Chains A and B, each alone.
Chain A
Amino acid sequence: MPVAVTSEAVEEKVIETIVSFGGPEGEITRASTFEQLDVDSLDLVEIAQVIEEEFGIALKGDDVKDIKTVGEAIDLVVSRA
């Protein structure tokens, strides 16, 4: 059963996933850019898979290709709920 989509829940999941990729724990904010975090297009697809599994929201490659920041990613997921 997918988890309810709130901005807080999505933020927590996205940050947790980036930390699991080796991102700096405790330092990731909505303003962090994926470039700063060394998250590339392959990592973004992995994050999208985690989001789909957790929240039941499917994102395609085209959806995420222009996303630059953690906040934009969270907003995109919430807007699709």
Chain B
Amino acid sequence: MGRPVAITGVGAITPLGMGARTLFERWAAGQVGIVDGEAPCSDFDPVAALGPKTARRTDRFAQFALAASDEALTDAGWLAPPDTDSESTPSGSPQPTPPGGAKSAPDSLTYASDRIGCVIGTGIGGIGTIETQQDVLRDRGAKRVSALSVPLLMSNAAAGTVAMRHSLQGQSFGVVSACAAGAHAIGTAVRMIQAGDADAVVTGGSEAALTGLARAGFASMGATSELGVSRPFDARRDGFIMGEGAGILVLEDLESATARGARVLAVVRGYGASSDAFHLTAPEPEGRGAVRAIEAALADAGVAPEELDYVNAHGTSTPLNDRAETLALKTALGDAAFGVPVSSTKSAIGHLLGAAGAVEAIATVLALRERLAPPTLGFAEREDGLDLDYVPDSARPLGNGRPAIGMSNSFGFGGHNAVLVLEAT
């Protein structure tokens, strides 16, 4: 285990509403953000959250990340709580604002700005912009394609605009690994701090792929649910539900965070990642790649399987994932797999693709802090071999007195596996 890394702030925009705690509280209460077979962030108003200028110059996936970053930095004590409406109305006397609509000067941050990184994952990036501008190209010609097309659609736009908004001048880039991107981003951020390349990193994942092309593509390959129901690990599951949103976390070197008197939400105990190198989309049927990632994360954490109090599963509600993930948990955790509550956030908000790993890490942090495992909603019918404790029906109290330890799994098309081990403080 390298230098311990603290999580000091979280923010999330999800189909259950605005805010990380809104997500956790509503999921734990059994609420579902899925409407008509899809999970949009209906409460999100980009102009209200970011102002008209920033909203126009960003794709929806970057908008989610920007709004979630404001919440996370405020939660970490890096930003003052927002003035009501000051960002959403044009100022009386126009003042130049930094690109990206920055609201915080470097000197309001806790660390030297060039010691703060920004790493944000996404599955696809600005696919809404790609589709809109493709329409413009076809219908109105090349000269009408927006000059903002590329800066909006590029997969690193969330990382770039979040860095600009908060003047984060350390390393900054996007991470692309389909549905593991959010977890890979966090793991990369942890390593950046452990290596001494940054004192703090704003990290997470973002996705806004509720578009015609993405919807049709996932449906054509049979990945999404025809029935329009997300019920991970249930025998009747028939595919995932597409969702959108973002999760952003503020990570700091634990020693530095403690020195500044920060409230530490959790510590990232371990990170492990691997590749199936097996198939473009299907998991290795025995979950061997996932096993290697889980084992690596536990070894990095110095945590034994029986010490885990909670597992936040990838749990997509696809026939293949939920079976392979169950097998992987049994192989990696041994008998301890049968004693630990395993639940899937996707039962409440669908699959947020490149945002999923980050949003689910945040849900895990809050579950560990509240000592409450939210349920796998919709789970009722068992399937042979899927015999773990999936926390059916309602949330379950966790624990045995000491700070709770949990694991969050993320697996992506392409065979990418990323696993985080987290401990509440």
Q: Which residues of A contact B (CB under 8 A)?
A: 21-25, 27, 32, 35-38, 40, 42, 45-46, 49, 52-53, 58
The reply on B92 being an interface residue by CB < 8 A is yes
- Among B109-117, B145-153, B299-307, the one that faces the other chain is B145-153
CB of A13 to closest CB in B, whole Å: 16
- Among B94-102, B277-285, B390-398, the one that faces the other chain is B94-102
Chain B residues with a Cβ closer than 8 Å to the other chain, count: 22
Q: A25-B90, A42-B57 are in contact. List 4 more A-B contacts (CB 8 A).
A: A23-B94, A24-B90, A27-B94, A46-B147
Which chain B residue shows the least CB distance to A35? B96
Contact B143 A38 (CB under 8 A): no
Contact B151 A52 (CB under 8 A): no
Contact B91 A49 (CB under 8 A): no
Contact B147 A38 (CB under 8 A): no
CB of B54 to closest CB in A, whole Å: 8
Interface residues of B in 35-57 (CB under 8 A from A): 51-57
CB of A23 to closest CB in B, whole Å: 7
Q: Which of A32, A35, A38, A46 is B148 in contact with, Cβ under 8 Å?
A: A46
Contact A22 B52 (CB under 8 A): yes
CB-based closest 7 A-B pairs = A22-B52, A22-B53, A45-B147, A24-B90, A42-B147, A36-B94, A24-B94
Given the complex, which residues of A lie within 8 Å of B96, measured CB to CB? Answer: 35-36, 38
CB of A49 to closest CB in B, whole Å: 6
Given the complex, which residues of A lie within 8 Å of B95, measured CB to CB? Answer: 36, 38
Contact B53 A46 (CB under 8 A): no
Given the complex, which residues of A lie within 8 Å of B91, measured CB to CB? Answer: 24
CB of A37 to closest CB in B, whole Å: 6
Contact B94 A38 (CB under 8 A): yes
Which chain A residue shows the least CB distance to B146? A46
Given the complex, which residues of A lie within 8 Å of B148, measured CB to CB? Answer: 42, 46
The reply on B382 being an interface residue by CB < 8 A is no
Contact A42 B94 (CB under 8 A): no
Contact A21 B90 (CB under 8 A): no
Bound CA span A32–B94, Å: 10
Given the complex, which residues of B lie within 8 Å of A25, measured CB to CB? Answer: 90
- On whether A37 and B99 interact (CB within 8 A), knowing A21-B52, A49-B143, the answer reads no
The reply on B3 being an interface residue by CB < 8 A is no
Bound CA span A35–B98, Å: 11
Given the complex, which residues of A lie within 8 Å of B54, measured CB to CB? Answer: 22
- Proximity string of chain B (148-179) to chain A, C-beta cutoff 8 Å, 1 when within and 0 when not: 10010000000000000000000000000000
CB of A46 to closest CB in B, whole Å: 6
The reply on B144 being an interface residue by CB < 8 A is yes
Contact A53 B151 (CB under 8 A): no
- On whether A21 and B56 interact (CB within 8 A), knowing A36-B96, A37-B94, A38-B96, the answer reads yes
Bound CA span A25–B52, Å: 12
CB of A55 to closest CB in B, whole Å: 14
- 25 cross-chain CB contacts under 8 A: A21-B52, A21-B53, A22-B51, A22-B52, A22-B53, A22-B54, A22-B55, A22-B56, A22-B90, A23-B90, A23-B94, A24-B90, A24-B91, A24-B92, A27-B92, A36-B95, A37-B94, A38-B97, A42-B147, A42-B148, A42-B151, A46-B148, A49-B144, A49-B146, A58-B143
Bound CA span A27–B89, Å: 14
B90, B97, B151 interface centre (most CB from chain A within 10 Å): B90
Given the complex, which residues of B lie within 8 Å of A22, measured CB to CB? Answer: 51-56, 90
Given the complex, which residues of A lie within 8 Å of B56, measured CB to CB? Answer: 21-22
Given the complex, which residues of A lie within 8 Å of B57, measured CB to CB? Answer: 42
CB of A1 to closest CB in B, whole Å: 16
Which chain A residue shows the least CB distance to B140? A53
Bound CA span A22–B51, Å: 8
Given the complex, which residues of A lie within 8 Å of B90, measured CB to CB? Answer: 22-25
CB of A33 to closest CB in B, whole Å: 9
Contact A40 B94 (CB under 8 A): no
- Proximity string of chain B (78-99) to chain A, C-beta cutoff 8 Å, 1 when within and 0 when not: 0000000000001111111101
Given the complex, which residues of B lie within 8 Å of A23, measured CB to CB? Answer: 90, 94
Given the complex, which residues of A lie within 8 Å of B143, measured CB to CB? Answer: 49, 52, 58
